[in-house]
Structure 1
Amino acid sequence: MTDVGRHRGRLAAAFVVVVLAFAGLATRLGQVQLAGADGVSAQASSLDTRTVVEPALRGRILDRTGRVLAENRASTVVTLERRVIAEDRPSAEAEVRAVARVLGLPAARLLGRTWLCGEEGAPAAPTCWSGSPQVPVPLATGVDPQRALALVERPDRFPGVAVDSVPVRVYPRPEGVSAAHVLGYLGQATAQEVADDPDIGAGDLVGRSGLEQEYDDVLRGTPGRTVVAVDARGLVTGVVSRTEPVPGRDLVTSLDVDAQAAAERALADAIATDRARGGGGRADSGAVVALDATSGAVVALASAPTYDPNVWTGGISAADYADLTDEDAGTPLLSRATAVALPPGSTVKPSSVVAAVRAGNPLSGLYDCPAQYRIGDRVFRNHESYDRGLMSLERAVETSCDTVFYDVAYRAWQDQGGVSAGVDAADPFARAARGFGLGTRTGVDLPGESAGRVPDRAWRRQTWEASKEELCRRAREGYPEVADAARRRYLRAVARENCASGWQLRGGDAANLAIGQGDTLATPLQLAVMYAALGNGGTRPTPRVAAATVDTSTGERTAVPAGPRVSAPLDRRLGRYLRRALRGVVTDGTAARVFADEPADWPVAGKTGTAEQVGERDTSWFAAYAPADHPQWVVTAVVHRGGYGDASAAPAVQRVLLALRGLG
């Protein structure tokens, strides 16, 4: 027997007990007539029947080499029939307290499970029971079998209590990886889900995020169904028919455990290093994404703060759930690789070079890089305080000269008609950004992806229409709740301006888009797709985490279909130009310090980004691919409040690229 077969065999027996436990409380289906049947089937024609849904064994999640990221193991669960609670809640609660004493567990946690979520007086989720009211309530999972045995031996003292062996989801964490934001977690099926989906039974676990949610139908398999005959008292008198469950398929991913471990460690170290610096290091969160530069296959996806996905095993406690959703702790449940979009800073400048050329600026021209640039009454400053003189667009990318891009963007904005232009006016900078995939979801096979934002005229008009009432109210009343007087005056002045003309795309807005600032937002995954297109010659791949599904009985492997491939706005000449510029960033530009000792056979090309946010420390970005001449891997990193792009994000990317160097 194969390892998979032994693994399945040990767990399959656990479901026998579950079927018997659910039989007495399953949904009533009415009379069943079975023409020509004898025995139990004939008897069923005059008796009620009930159908018991038997969950299938859930498929595993594996990395590209077969290392297990999610699997099942047997666990002891103590349940209580709902009728005991419904008939006499005070007596039921006294019984639950006695159960807690036997198990050595806090009574409060078990008592919370006796309430249906949404029921008057119920505690907040996840303490309450969110599953179906037709099945026994799991009071505790993963209990000591010896302690649970004491409950079984005293049925007179613990009426309605049952002890079962059931499979629970566990995450082995090979090489210490979490991968929590990729794998996701399971949650109890709600009564509504049971009613809506015939393949979901009362008490089933379903995917709630990550791959567990995206591929829930594949992993969950097909449940078995046992139709039983019952007498007038609801007691089972025989089995009418039985359909065996079909186990879920294993899901093989493109993730590589070693690459994932390198990404998680590099990100954690980047945040810790910044916080240990003198001068107010305040890095608090971030993400790293690594893709195959051609196919878009995701080999690593890390988000910080992270957590141990096993916290969900057997049901999460209210305290643990509060920790995962605590905004002050960085909301560890949130994926900062796919679901959080931030200003991407200068990492968008390759797109802006494309836009500048399309707006009529010669690729071979020279452009002034002054220390500052004035648009109306606003002064936009370069990150350096001195005039760098004339330079090519290539050198402007290498040195990250903001004022070159302010100028080409502002002149393009004027050519479009400035503030008088209509919402459908052609905007080469917004068009180029969208052409590289910004402002739209990548299509990755993970739920909850952010589309980011390309703030063009249409977006500004739509946003103003939705918020103008509040803006105009603030223009009239100000911000009395703000303690600082100067801050109050500033906010009210902004509200007055936006109330009067907030739908207009101003020159400063156009300049900010060109350098990835202002209202521009992108996720690390979006930038990874953009840099894949830059590296591979102009094709945007659809990122995919899942590679194949495997039938655990036959070993049959079925590839997960690849997503669409879209052409980026990059011709051959412009592509070569930008790849040379991105290589120059690493050899003689803003990232040269970090990559000074790069291996000769592993040249890197990339771009730093330093995103400024009012009242906060800069956010550090770096996007890169390697090897520079024939890109195989793309890696992007963001460290929120991590300072300059070469300070936190670039070192993290360097470490991950080195880890990918030997990966075939």
Structure 2
Amino acid sequence: MAEVARARRAARWSGGALAALLVATSLTACGSQPPGPQAAGKALAAAVGSGTFDAVHFAPGTDATAAADARTAAYDGLAPWAPKVVATTTAAADDKDQATARLAFTWDVGAARPWTYTTQASLSRDPHDKKVWLVTWNPAILAPDLTDGEKLVDKRERATRADILDGDGNPLVTPRPVHAIGIDKTRIAAAQQAAAAKALAKAVGIDADAYAAQVAKAGSKAFVVAITVRDSDPDFDIPKLARMAGVNAVPGQLPLAPTRTFARPVLGSVGDATADIVTSSHGAIVAGDQTGLSGLERQYDAQLRGTPGLTIRAVAQDGSAARDLFHVDPKPGTPLGTTLDVDTQKDAERVLADVKPASAVVAIRPSTGAVLAVASGPVTSGQSVATLGEYAPGSTLKIATALAMLRDGATKRTTMACAPSVTVAGREFRNTPDYPSSKLGSIPLTTAFAHSCNTAFIGERDTVSQGDLAAAAASLGLTGTPSFGLPAFLGDVPAEASGTDHAASLIGQGRVVASPLGMATVVASVAAGHTVNPSVVDRASVVAGAGGAGATGGTGATSTAAASAPAAPAKPLTAAEASTLRTLMRGVVTDGTATLLQDVPGGPVLAKTGTAQFGPTGDTKNHAWLVAIQGDLAVCVYVDEGDFGATTAGPILKRFLTLLHG
């Protein structure tokens, strides 16, 4: 019996040991199981997206280099686009050594929607190394049903560019008929092309040698455009030009404003995309596309140009067969609204047409801040003097100085000492040479303001600090960043200054600078009774995210100015303060330096003249300014070099107001 018991115990022990051994063996086998196919699928997706296949293992018949070459051949026609690829990999249900990777592709091809599709790749476990999964290469991995020798190409269909609208919602910049004038090299013998090019260049007013060189470099059958002329331009006789030797005049259409000069620095221009624009667009724009090159056309190009139609095809290497893989229709651009008034802008440009120095006229509707006209004179070489110029504003800044005085307790009857001259820290300041002697002595603020007594305002330097002046200028909208719709400059009044610098600031000189837009904003604020924020773009018309193409004269600075207003000044302008300032400005017209504006049509005018000296001692020149209010209209006239505000800017403003009411 003892032997039987021992045998049973031994049997139980050996069975338990065997079971434990089997469990341990099973656990060891599970822990060393070769990896699944997911990592291999992820590596393939990354390689197809990037073009680098070094991390992918291939089944016999291909390798990383061959796969990369196949991808390049297939995708090269779509450069610079590249797909984003995500893999979902699953093992076969009936064979754990086989798997399928489903690759989901997304191409951002600059169309109204992305191109998406899925392909699949077969994976198998390497029989020699169970840790490795091998990809069986197939061109259809790259695009649906792609075969050896096929490549992907795209065909674009240009979208209809949207108009820029005026303040009434009417087309302002819209397609207008033009002719491209140039040398057609198929129309003239090679030996005569240089002379023909120079003759055409001289006729249209461009550099003859440069154009002749351009023609010489072009292909033997090229048409080399010298100038594109709108059909309505009276300065060019298109039929006469077309009769010149070797010249061709090709009709077409371009988005254009009503006239060649109409608000051009602000509206900008449209033309063939530059190399920089193409590169920075990351495929959204290609060579040959028409894009905005400057101004609003550039700033809001993404909104205005719309999105092109696009067809992507798989074609044989010899082009003998093609099949469409993707198509989307073009989406027209969205119009951009502006605040500009056509007649007001034309009148502003008309009064500047014969002004020889750089000049500007800006008109604002104070009740809304809408910019009605923003004109820069004809000699500004396309620069927006009106919105970006930085000039000493002279006595027009006395509006801000007067406001600072009012905030310190002064009234329009407060007396001031007006002397022929005043010396501050060794520097002598004088009134203008034509300052009336009868207005010297102890005079009220109304008289000092009306006749613009420099010495009286400088005499307030101990009462009005530089910080007070800067705060008053901000309350009038002169400083800060406007929601103009384009990068723009209003003005700069330093918050700290002393001695002669502070004295000069009180009369709009020293380090104080302003633009014509800035000074128009100042008087618009006075007229409105609150700080005005000027804008040339109807913010309601701006498509979210479409205002970042950016342009200051055609460069690429991003701006969201059209979408949001700047912060309000620390101390807003009050209605009572504005009322007193309007009284002071009316006195300039009734009994001061701008009496020439008394008889203009359209109601009472309020104004302030300004003259600011600039340049080296002994050769100083004068900036001439005049700002005015008439009803719900605020205007600034600026001339870079003139006599005085009243005598140089005054007649321009008078004619402008007369034209508006004519």
Q: TM-score range by the shorter chain?
A: 0.5 to 0.7
TM-score normalised to structure 1 length? 0.63
- Provide closer, same or farther for how the CA distance between residues 109 and 564 of structure 1 changes in structure 2, counting only shifts above 3 A: farther
**SS of structure 1 residue aligned to 2:325:** strand
Match of 2:511 among 500, 511, 519: 519
Opposite residue 618 of structure 1, the aligned amino acid is N
Deviation readout 1:137-185 (Å, 9 max, x if unpaired): 98548899xxxxxxxxxxxxxxxxxx9x9965242525x8622122111
Q: 2 CA distance for matches of 1:654 and 1:97?
A: 53
**Matching residue of 1:181:** 265
TM-score normalised to structure 2 length? 0.63
**SS of structure 1 residue aligned to 2:388:** coil
Deviation readout 1:608-660 (Å, 9 max, x if unpaired): 11111132432211111112xxxx11111101112211112222223333444
Q: 1:342, CA displacement in angstroms?
A: 0.9
**Matching residue of 1:340:** 389
C-alpha root-mean-square deviation of aligned residues, in Å? 4.2
Q: 1:561, CA displacement in angstroms?
A: 6.0
Opposite residue 605 of structure 1, the aligned amino acid is L
- Provide closer, same or farther for how the CA distance between residues 404 and 396 of structure 1 changes in structure 2, counting only shifts above 3 A: same
**Matching residue of 1:461:** none
Q: 1 CA distance for matches of 2:392 and 2:357?
A: 16
- Structure 1 residues 533-548: aligned runs within 5 Å: 533-546=525-538
**Matching residue of 1:366:** 415
**Matching residue of 1:218:** 303
Structure with more relative contact order (C-alpha pairs < 8 Å, separation 6 or more): 1
Contact 2:542–2:563 at 8 Å: present in 1 too?
Answer: no
Q: 2 CA distance for matches of 1:124 and 1:359?
A: 63
Contact 1:429–1:514 at 8 Å: present in 2 too?
Answer: yes
**Matching residue of 2:86:** none
- Structure 1 residues 53-64: aligned runs within 5 Å: 53-64=156-167
**SS of structure 2 residue aligned to 1:261:** helix
**SS of structure 1 residue aligned to 2:472:** helix
**Matching residue of 1:208:** 293
Match of 2:454 among 385, 392, 402: 402
Match of 2:444 among 392, 398, 418: 392
Q: 2 CA distance for matches of 1:613 and 1:28?
A: 52
- Provide closer, same or farther for how the CA distance between residues 36 and 103 of structure 1 changes in structure 2, counting only shifts above 3 A: farther
Deviation readout 1:395-449 (Å, 9 max, x if unpaired): 2111111111111025545xxxxxxxxxxxx7211222233233433231124x2
Opposite residue 398 of structure 2, the aligned amino acid is K
**Matching residue of 2:346:** 261
Opposite residue 270 of structure 2, the aligned amino acid is L
Q: 1 CA distance for matches of 2:191 and 2:307?
A: 34
Q: 1:186, CA displacement in angstroms?
A: 2.5
The reply on whether 1:583 has 2:583 as its aligned counterpart is no
Q: 2 CA distance for matches of 1:659 and 1:142?
A: 33
**Matching residue of 1:430:** 470
Greater share of helix:
1
Contact 2:452–2:593 at 8 Å: present in 1 too?
Answer: yes
- Provide closer, same or farther for how the CA distance between residues 580 and 236 of structure 1 changes in structure 2, counting only shifts above 3 A: farther
Match of 1:622 among 599, 602, 626: 626
**Matching residue of 1:70:** 173
Opposite residue 600 of structure 2, the aligned amino acid is E
Deviation readout 1:323-356 (Å, 9 max, x if unpaired): xxxxxxx441111101111111111111101222
Contact 1:622–1:638 at 8 Å: present in 2 too?
Answer: yes
Contact 1:542–1:565 at 8 Å: present in 2 too?
Answer: no
The reply on whether 1:351 has 2:435 as its aligned counterpart is no
Match of 2:492 among 435, 442, 453: 453
The reply on whether 1:252 has 2:330 as its aligned counterpart is no
Structure 2 residue runs of 5 or longer lacking an equivalent are 1-74, 84-104, 106-115, 121-139, 199-208, 216-220, 230-247, 544-561
Q: 2 CA distance for matches of 1:577 and 1:525?
A: 23
Q: 1:26, CA displacement in angstroms?
A: 5.9
Opposite residue 598 of structure 1, the aligned amino acid is V
Q: 1:506, CA displacement in angstroms?
A: 3.6
Contact 2:304–2:335 at 8 Å: present in 1 too?
Answer: yes
Contact 1:356–1:409 at 8 Å: present in 2 too?
Answer: no
Contact 2:404–2:464 at 8 Å: present in 1 too?
Answer: no
**Matching residue of 1:441:** 481
Deviation readout 1:473-515 (Å, 9 max, x if unpaired): xxxxxxxxxxxxxxxxxxxxxxxxxxxxxxxx44111111111
Match of 1:241 among 326, 330, 337: 326
- Provide closer, same or farther for how the CA distance between residues 542 and 257 of structure 1 changes in structure 2, counting only shifts above 3 A: closer
Contact 1:372–1:403 at 8 Å: present in 2 too?
Answer: yes
Q: 2 CA distance for matches of 1:392 and 1:125?
A: 64
**SS of structure 2 residue aligned to 1:647:** helix
Structure 1 residue runs of 5 or longer lacking an equivalent are 1-22, 80-94, 111-122, 130-135, 145-162, 272-282, 306-329, 414-425, 458-504, 552-559
Q: 1:237, CA displacement in angstroms?
A: 2.4
Q: 1:389, CA displacement in angstroms?
A: 1.2
Q: 2 CA distance for matches of 1:43 and 1:78?
A: 48
**Matching residue of 2:373:** 300
- Provide closer, same or farther for how the CA distance between residues 102 and 377 of structure 1 changes in structure 2, counting only shifts above 3 A: same
**SS of structure 1 residue aligned to 2:646:** coil
Opposite residue 455 of structure 1, the aligned amino acid is P
Residue identity over aligned pairs, in percent, reads 33
**SS of structure 2 residue aligned to 1:246:** coil
Q: 2 CA distance for matches of 1:515 and 1:379?
A: 13
Q: 2 CA distance for matches of 1:660 and 1:103?
A: 56
| Equivalent pairs, count | 476
- Greater alpha carbon shift after TM alignment, 431-440 vs 542-551: 542-551
- Structure 1 residues 81-92: aligned runs within 5 Å: none
Contact 1:54–1:201 at 8 Å: present in 2 too?
Answer: no
**SS of structure 1 residue aligned to 2:460:** helix
Q: 1:357, CA displacement in angstroms?
A: 3.5
Deviation readout 1:180-226 (Å, 9 max, x if unpaired): 12211134334454344343233223222222122212111112221
Larger radius of gyration: 2
